[in-house]
């Protein structure tokens, strides 16, 4: 196996069990360490991690031009449920109740629906949240109805032009797909999220796409993920025109209002930018315009927060803050009311909704920054515990090949992505060599290379 995976000596999987006393301390320490734990920081203050990805397969039914999976991904086996359950226990050990677990891949809908139902039930039984991360192609209403009944909380649809869907030539044309996916969720009680990769091929359309999202009251969370040179995709380096500032400006142009991305922080500022708005009838108003007031509320909430170990119990903490700081609570309440009133005509044309707007700045595999990886808020579950998503993407094959131990009634068993089922010993084969794989098992740049070789021969 290629041993060129970049390593960051200080950023390694966090282990299969949390051994500390304060689950928020590792992230808080990482952010403190790089000067990112300011008055607006929510990570490490109210929660130990933003979310953890549980990769249930490496297979996908698309071949996006930007893809964080590796060349070997399609030649691996799906982890057995017992391995995934063991990883859920590790996630719970590190982050406790309330953490958001992303069922992802590849595309998780390529797993049997019964497997996903079992995972949703297990996540619910551990008081964690589940989010299905999918391109939506197989996420029919019937499929989502079954998962919702099994305890699924959120569904995040990834729809954009990197997917090269037949018959769609622009992000605007893809809105018909987005609307159809929203219809699939109607009445199921699921929180709906949309992820968009921002790359050279759709950057000009970003304001219009942001406006489309603003005007979808069903959508609670809108995430824009900036192109990164990692994985197997055909597209590599990010164009210079795409920066955090240019993406923030384009999104604000779409929402037609300032979004105050510098008020509240979710991890390192070079990693993530966050905004929160109320919307109604084609209007949006930022809830984070009063920076000093927001920081006072953050400070007051962290003082009364009784759940210092895992995720904050927001309802309980807000109620305690109201009782302890009635004047501050009144000011905050009046600010929120003012925001709603500023929706003006929009109030007559549509329901009032709150929407989170997120810009995620993934790092290139060969340009990992230690301080960012050490204060990462997005983890991936590996055989040896949670690891920063950027680091995992850069070292993916190394972690897919690592033997994962599952303790059963008759003793331990082991698994890695090179084998279809559990084995009696940790001595497992390496991942297959993609250069030996048939064309149909290749994706991204390797597929293109193989095709060119075939055409040239
Ligand atoms: S995944 Fe990467 S960009 Fe995102 S928070 Fe972690 S280190 Fe930062």
Residue pair 26/14 in contact by the 8 Å Cβ criterion: yes
Residue pair 265/36 in contact by the 8 Å Cβ criterion: yes
pLDDT at 5 over 60: no
Task: Report how far residue 401's alpha carbon sits from residue 417's, in angstroms, rounded to the nearest whole number.
Answer: 6
pLDDT at 8: 66
Least confident of 7-21, 26-40, 121-135, 231-245: 7-21
Task: Report how far residue 216's alpha carbon sits from residue 213's, in angstroms, rounded to the nearest whole number.
Answer: 5
pLDDT at 31 over 80: yes
Q: Which residues pair with 387 in a beta bridge?
A: 380
Best of 27, 388, 396 for a ligand 1 pocket test (most atoms within 8 Å of beta carbon): 388
Verify cis geometry, omega within 30 degrees of 0, for the bond prior to 106. yes
Would you give the DSSP letter of residue 271?
Answer: T
pLDDT at 9: 66
**Which atom of ligand 1 sits closest to the CA of residue 373?**
7
pLDDT at 444 over 60: yes
Report how far ligand 1's centroid is from the alpha carbon of 360 (Å): 8
**Which atom of ligand 1 sits closest to the CA of residue 376?**
6
- Would you put residue 167 in left (φ > 0), alpha (ψ -120 to 50) or beta? left
Domain at 8-293+352-404, CATH from 1.10.20.140, 3.20.20.70, 3.30.420.40, 3.50.50.60 = 3.20.20.70
Report how far ligand 1's centroid is from the alpha carbon of 414 (Å): 29
pLDDT at 229 over 90: yes
Task: Report how far residue 95's alpha carbon sits from residue 43's, in angstroms, rounded to the nearest whole number.
Answer: 12
pLDDT at 337 over 70: yes
pTM exceeds cut of 0.85 = yes
Best of 30, 228, 247, 389 for a ligand 1 pocket test (most atoms within 8 Å of beta carbon): 389
Where do runs of H (alpha helix) occur along 342-387? 346-349, 370-374
Helices (H) and strands (E) in the chain, counts: 15, 13
Q: What would the two tokens of residue 209 be?
A: 């796409």
Check if 271 has its Cβ closer than 6 Å to any atom of ligand 1.
yes
Name which residue sits closest to atom 6 of ligand 1, judged by CA. 376
pLDDT digits (tens, 9 = 90+) for 346-370: 999 999 999 999 999 999 999 999 9
Report how far ligand 1's centroid is from the alpha carbon of 337 (Å): 34
Check if 267 has its Cβ closer than 6 Å to any atom of ligand 1.
yes
> CA dihedral defined by 204, 206, 211, 217, rounded to 10 degrees?
150
Q: What is the mean pLDDT of residues 286-304?
A: 96
Check if 377 has its Cβ closer than 6 Å to any atom of ligand 1.
yes
Helix axes 326-341, 314-324, angle to 10 degrees: 120
387 backbone dihedrals φ, ψ, rounded to 5°: -145, 145
pLDDT digits (tens, 9 = 90+) for 184-197: 999 999 999 999 99
The 3-state DSSP class for residue 413 equals strand
pLDDT digits (tens, 9 = 90+) for 51-82: 999 999 999 999 999 999 998 888 899 999 99
How many Cα neighbours within 13 Å face the side chain of 103?
A: 33
Task: Report how far residue 147's alpha carbon sits from residue 142's, in angstroms, rounded to the nearest whole number.
Answer: 9
The 3-state DSSP class for residue 94 equals helix
Check if 388 has its Cβ closer than 6 Å to any atom of ligand 1.
yes
Non-local CB neighbours of 346 within 8 Å, separated by 6+ positions: 279, 280, 281, 282, 283
Check if 387 has its Cβ closer than 6 Å to any atom of ligand 1.
no
Check if 273 has its Cβ closer than 6 Å to any atom of ligand 1.
no
Check if 376 has its Cβ closer than 6 Å to any atom of ligand 1.
yes
Name which residue sits closest to atom 8 of ligand 1, judged by CA. 271
Q: What burial class does residue 203 get, using C-beta atoms within 10 Å of its C-beta: 0-12 exposed, 13-18 middle, 19+ buried? A: middle
Name which residue sits closest to atom 2 of ligand 1, judged by CA. 390
Task: Report how far residue 413's alpha carbon sits from residue 226's, in angstroms, rounded to the nearest whole number.
Answer: 39
Residue pair 273/261 in contact by the 8 Å Cβ criterion: yes
Angle formed at CA 349 by CA 345 and CA 351, multiple of 5 degrees: 110
Task: Report how far residue 433's alpha carbon sits from residue 420's, in angstroms, rounded to the nearest whole number.
Answer: 17
Q: What would the two tokens of residue 113 be?
A: 């629906």
Residue pair 16/343 in contact by the 8 Å Cβ criterion: no
Check if 362 has its Cβ closer than 6 Å to any atom of ligand 1.
yes
Q: What would the two tokens of residue 418 be?
A: 């090179």
* Per-domain boundaries in the chain: 8-293+352-404, 296-341
Report how far ligand 1's centroid is from the alpha carbon of 315 (Å): 28
pLDDT at 308: 63
pLDDT at 412: 93
Q: What would the two tokens of residue 246 be?
A: 């240019």
What mean pLDDT is reported for the chain?
Answer: 94
Best of 47, 266, 271, 366 for a ligand 1 pocket test (most atoms within 8 Å of beta carbon): 271
Check if 26 has its Cβ closer than 6 Å to any atom of ligand 1.
no
Taking only Cα atoms into account, the Rg of the chain, rounded to an integer number of angstroms, comes to: 22
pLDDT at 71: 87
Task: Report how far residue 30's alpha carbon sits from residue 64's, in angstroms, rounded to the nearest whole number.
Answer: 33
Q: Which residues pair with 414 in a beta bridge?
A: 405, 423
Check if 373 has its Cβ closer than 6 Å to any atom of ligand 1.
yes
């Amino acid at each position: 196996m290629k041993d060129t995976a970049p390593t960051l000596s200080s950023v390694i999987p966090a282990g299969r069990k949390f051994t500390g006393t304060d689950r928020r301390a590792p992230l808080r320490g990482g952010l403190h360490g790089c000067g990112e734990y300011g008055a607006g920081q929510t990570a490490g203050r109210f929660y130990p991690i933003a979310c953890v990805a549980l990769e249930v397969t490496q297979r996908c039914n698309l071949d996006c031009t930007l893809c964080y999976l590796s060349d070997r991904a399609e030649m691996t086996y799906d982890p057995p449920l017992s391995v995934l359950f063991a990883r859920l226990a590790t996630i719970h050990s590190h982050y406790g109740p309330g953490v958001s677990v992303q069922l992802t891949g590849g595309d998780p809908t390529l797993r049997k629906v019964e497997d996903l139902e079992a995972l949703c039930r297990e996540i619910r039984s551990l008081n964690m949240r589940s989010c299905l991360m999918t391109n939506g192609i197989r996420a029919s209403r019937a499929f989502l109805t079954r998962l919702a009944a099994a305890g699924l909380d959120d569904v995040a649809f990834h729809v954009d032009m990197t997917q090269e869907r037949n018959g769609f030539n622009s992000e605007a044309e893809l809105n018909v797909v987005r609307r159809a996916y929203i219809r699939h969720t109607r009445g199921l009680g699921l929180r709906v999220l949309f992820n968009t990769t921002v790359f050279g091929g759709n950057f000009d359309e970003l304001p219009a796409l942001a406006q489309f999202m603003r005007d979808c009251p069903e959508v609670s969370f809108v995430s824009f993920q900036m192109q990164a040179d990692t994985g197997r995709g055909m597209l590599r380096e990010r164009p210079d025109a795409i920066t955090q500032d240019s993406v923030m400006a384009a999104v604000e142009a779409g929402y037609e209002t300032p979004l105050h991305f510098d008020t509240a922080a979710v991890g390192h500022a070079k990693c993530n930018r966050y905004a929160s708005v109320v919307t109604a009838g084609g209007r949006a108003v930022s809830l984070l315009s009063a920076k000093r007031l927001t920081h006072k509320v953050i400070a007051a909430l962290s003082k009364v927060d009784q759940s210092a170990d895992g995720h904050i119990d927001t309802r309980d903490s807000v109620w305690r803050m109201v009782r302890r700081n009635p004047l501050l609570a009144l000011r905050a309440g009046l600010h929120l009311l003012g925001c709603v009133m500023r929706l003006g005509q929009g109030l007559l044309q549509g329901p009032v909704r709150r929407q989170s707007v997120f810009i995620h700045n993934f790092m290139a595999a060969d340009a990992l920054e230690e301080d960012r990886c050490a204060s990462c808020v997005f983890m991936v579950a590996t055989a040896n515990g949670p690891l920063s998503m950027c680091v995992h993407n850069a070292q993916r094959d190394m972690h897919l090949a690592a033997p994962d131990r599952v303790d059963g009634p008759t003793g331990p068993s082991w698994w890695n992505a090179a084998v279809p089922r559990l084995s009696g010993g940790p001595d497992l084969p390496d991942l297959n060599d993609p250069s030996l794989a048939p064309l149909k098992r290749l994706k991204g740049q390797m597929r293109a290379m193989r095709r060119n070789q075939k055409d040239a021969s």
